[in-house]
Chain A
Amino acid sequence: MTSTHDEPSGSGSGADLDTLARVTGRVRAGIEKVIEGKPEVARLALVVLLAEGHLLIEDVPGVGKTMLSKSLARSIDCTVRRIQFTPDLLPSDVTGVSVFNQDSREFEFRPGGIFANIVVGDEINRASPKTQSALLECMEERQVTVDGTTYHLETPFMVIATQNPIEMEGTYALPEAQRDRFMARVSMGYPVESAEIAMLDSHTRSNPLDDLEPVTDAAEIRKLIDIVSEVYVSDAVQRYAVAIATATRKSPELMLGASPRATLHLVRAAKAAAAISGRDYVIPDDVQELAVQVLSHRMLTTVEASMSGRTPEAALRQIVAGVPMPESRRAAT
Chain B
Amino acid sequence: MTTPVERPQTWHDYVPATATSSLLAALTTWVTLLAWTKFAERPSGFMVPILFGCLLVAVTGMLLRSARLPAVLVALVQVAVVLLWLHHRLAGSEALLGWLPTPESLRAMGDAFAASSTAAQAYAAPVPRSVPEFYPLMIIAGVLSAVLVDFLAVGLRRAPLAGLPLLALYTAPVSILDGGVSWLKFAAAALCYLFLIAAGESYRLAHWGHQLTAGRIFDSQTTNVSSQAIWSSARKIGLTATGLAVVVPIFVPTLSANLFNGGGTGGDGDGDSVNISNPMVDLKRDLTQGTDVELVRVTTTDPNPSYLRLTVLDSFDGNAWRPSGRSIPVKQRANGLVPRPPGLDASIPSREIPSTVQVSSFFRSRWLPTPYPVASIEAPGDWRYDRTTLDFISAADGQTTAGLTYRLRALDLQPTATDLADADPAPATVFTPYTALPRDLPASVRRLAESVTAGRASKFEMAVALQQWFRVDGGFRYSLRRSSGNGTDDLVKFLGTGQDSRVGYCEQFAAAMAVMGRTLGIPSRVAVGFLRPNPVPGERDTYVYSSHDLHAWPEMYFGGIGWVRFEPTPQSRATDVPSYTTQQVPQAQPSQSTSAPAAAPSLNRIDRSPGVSGSGGPKKQTPFVAGPAFRVGVALLVVLLVLLVVPRSVRSVVRRRRWSGATDLPGLAEAAWSEIRDTALDLRLPWDDGLTPRASAHELLRSFGRSDDADSTGRSAARGENADPEATSALGRLLLLLERARYARRLPADAATADQVREDTERCVAAMRAGVGQRRRTRATWAPASLVALSRNGLRGGGGPARPILSEPGVDRAV
Q: Which residues of A contact B (CB under 8 A)?
A: 1-2, 6-7, 9-11, 232, 234, 236-237, 247, 250-253, 279-285, 288, 303-304, 318-319, 321-322, 324-333
In angstroms, how far is the closest chain B Cβ from the Cβ of A97?
48
Q: Is B813 an interface residue (CB 8 A)?
A: yes
Q: Is B662 an interface residue (CB 8 A)?
A: yes
Interface string of B787-802 (1 = CB under 8 A from A): 0001001000010110
Interface residues of chain B: helix, strand, loop or mixed (majority): helix
**Is A288 a contact partner of B692 (Cβ separation < 8 A)?**
yes
Bound CA–CA A117/B739 (angstroms):
36
Q: Which residues of B contact A (CB under 8 A)?
A: 222, 225, 654, 657-658, 661-662, 666-667, 670-671, 673-674, 677, 689-695, 697-698, 721, 728-729, 731-732, 735-736, 739-746, 748, 751, 790, 793, 798, 800-801, 803-804, 807-810, 812-813
**Is A280 a contact partner of B744 (Cβ separation < 8 A)?**
yes
Bound CA–CA A318/B697 (angstroms):
21
Residue of B666, B667, B810 near A252 (CB, 8 A) is B810
Name the CB-closest residue of A to B733. Answer: A1
In angstroms, how far is the closest chain A Cβ from the Cβ of B205?
14
In angstroms, how far is the closest chain A Cβ from the Cβ of B725?
11
**Is A281 a contact partner of B731 (Cβ separation < 8 A)?**
no
Residue of B692, B697, B798 near A325 (CB, 8 A) is B692
**Is B744 a contact partner of A9 (Cβ separation < 8 A)?**
yes
Residue of A6, A252, A321, A332 near B813 (CB, 8 A) is A252
**Is A252 a contact partner of B809 (Cβ separation < 8 A)?**
yes
- Chain B residues, CB < 8 A from A251: 809
- Chain B residues, CB < 8 A from A280: 744-745
**Is B801 a contact partner of A331 (Cβ separation < 8 A)?**
no
Name the CB-closest residue of A to B786. Answer: A333
- Chain B residues, CB < 8 A from A328: 741-743
**Is A234 a contact partner of B661 (Cβ separation < 8 A)?**
no
Residue of B225, B657, B677, B736 near A7 (CB, 8 A) is B736
Bound CA–CA A328/B670 (angstroms):
10
Bound CA–CA A312/B574 (angstroms):
87
Bound CA–CA A332/B671 (angstroms):
6
- Chain A residues, CB < 8 A from B800: 324-325, 327
- Chain A residues, CB < 8 A from B666: 329
List the 7 closest A-B pairs by CB distance, nearest first: A322-B807, A1-B732, A281-B744, A331-B674, A232-B745, A331-B670, A328-B742
Bound CA–CA A327/B692 (angstroms):
10
- Chain A residues, CB < 8 A from B803: 322, 324
**Is A329 a contact partner of B801 (Cβ separation < 8 A)?**
no
- Can you give 19 A-B contacts (C-beta < 8 A)? A1-B728, A1-B731, A1-B732, A10-B748, A11-B745, A232-B744, A234-B745, A283-B692, A283-B694, A283-B739, A303-B222, A319-B809, A322-B807, A325-B689, A325-B801, A328-B743, A330-B670, A331-B671, A333-B674
Residue of A288, A322, A330 near B804 (CB, 8 A) is A322
- Chain A residues, CB < 8 A from B729: 1
In angstroms, how far is the closest chain B Cβ from the Cβ of A156?
25
In angstroms, how far is the closest chain A Cβ from the Cβ of B67?
33
Residue of A234, A252, A325 near B690 (CB, 8 A) is A325
Once A6-B736, A250-B809, A324-B803 are accepted as A-B contacts, the answer to whether A281 and B745 lie under 8 Å apart by CB is yes
- Chain A residues, CB < 8 A from B743: 232, 234, 236-237, 281-284, 328
- Chain A residues, CB < 8 A from B674: 331-333
Residue of A1, A303, A318 near B807 (CB, 8 A) is A318
- Chain A residues, CB < 8 A from B690: 321-322, 324-325
- Chain A residues, CB < 8 A from B225: 252, 304
**Is A324 a contact partner of B735 (Cβ separation < 8 A)?**
no
Bound CA–CA A58/B809 (angstroms):
29
Bound CA–CA A29/B180 (angstroms):
85
**Is B742 a contact partner of A236 (Cβ separation < 8 A)?**
yes
- Chain A residues, CB < 8 A from B810: 252
Bound CA–CA A328/B748 (angstroms):
17
Of A303, A322, A332, the most chain B CB neighbours within 10 A belong to A332
Of A9, A319, A333, the most chain B CB neighbours within 10 A belong to A333
